[in-house]
Amino acid sequence: MGVESLGSIATSLISGTVVGILVGYAVKKVLRIVLVILGTFFAALAYLNYQGLLSVNWEKMEIISRGILTTLVDSEITGNTANPILSNLGLPLTGGMAMGFALGFVKG
**68 or 80, higher pLDDT:** 68
H-state helical runs in the chain: 3-51, 58-78, 83-89, 91-107
End-to-end alpha carbon distance in the chain = 37
Instruction: Band the pLDDT of 106: cuts 50, 70, 90.
Output: confident
pLDDT of residue 37: 96
Instruction: Band the pLDDT of 88: cuts 50, 70, 90.
Output: low
Asked if 92 contacts 15 with a C-beta cutoff of 8 angstroms, the reply is: no
CA within 13 Å, CB half, 64: 5
**103 phi and psi, to 5 degrees?**
-65, -45
User: Which of these ranges, 57-61, 81-85, 99-103, has the smallest mean pLDDT?
Assistant: 81-85
pTM listed for this prediction: 0.60
pLDDT of residue 97: 78
User: What average pLDDT score do residues 14-38 get?
Assistant: 88
Residue 79 has pLDDT above 70, yes or no: no
